[in-house]
Amino acid sequence: MYRSAPKEQRDKVQLMAAERKSKAELEELRQRLRELEERERRDSKKMADEDALRRMRAAEEQTEALQKRLSVAKQEEEALLSEMDVTGQAFEDMQEQNIRLMQQLREKDDANFKLMSERIKSNQIHKLLKEEKEELADQLLTLRTQVGCDTTRHVNLYYHNEQIGKVDTLLF
């Protein structure tokens, strides 16, 4: 059919056919390019999704580790609070015991002071009584001496009177 047409027209037809073929190939290549770009986008998205999943898993693992550390820290806090309560109670008990012991010490000091005062008074009274006893002993000694002297004088007078009485009776 193209043989009866002039050569220029044939060339034109061939060129047009080659152009259509080239356009079809171009369109097919564009379509393949779009498909490849779409596939690349899907692969990139898939890789981004996988990367995001890996990061999410890492974040979840980190969250679990932090929750475990938080749990351990809370347990330690509770143990420390409990220990502080026990220590605080022991401190209060010791304070109360200290107050009681201080009161007892004051009472003993007061009793000792009272005993010392009584002992000083007792020693003073003892000293006064001893001095009074010595004075009374001196007075007794003086009185005994006087009584002894008086008795001796009385006896001497008696003998003297008796002798005078004998002399009187002799005289009479």
Amino acid identity of residue 134, one-letter, is E
Q: Assess contact for 37 and 45: CB atoms under 8 A.
A: no
Distance in angstroms (rounded) separating the CA atoms of residues 34 and 42: 12
Q: In angstroms, what CA-CA distances link 136 with 63, 123, 124, 130, 148?
A: 106, 19, 18, 10, 17
So what's the pLDDT on residue 102?
A: 97
The pTM of the full predicted model, rounded to 2 decimals, is 0.42
The angle formed by the CA atoms of residues 143, 144 and 148, to the nearest 5 degrees, is 115
Q: Is 10 exposed, middle or buried (0-12, 13-18, 19+ CB in 10 A)?
A: middle
So what's the pLDDT on residue 143?
A: 87
Exposure class string for 26-40: b at 16+ Cβ within 10 A, else e: eeeeeeeeeeeeeee
Helix H, strand E, coil C: the string for 2-33 is CCCCCHHHHHHHHHHHHHHHHHHHHHHHHHHH
Q: Both tokens of residue 8?
A: 């220029």
Q: Both tokens of residue 137?
A: 């002993």
For the chain, 172 residues long, give each residue's pLDDT as a single digit of tens.
Answer: 445 557 777 788 888 888 889 889 889 989 998 998 888 888 887 787 788 888 889 999 999 999 999 999 999 999 999 999 999 999 999 999 999 999 999 999 999 999 999 999 999 999 999 999 999 999 989 988 888 888 888 878 788 777 776 655 655 5
Q: In angstroms, what CA-CA distances link 39 with 26, 50, 93, 136?
A: 19, 16, 79, 140
Q: Both tokens of residue 161?
A: 């009177």
So what's the pLDDT on residue 9?
A: 79
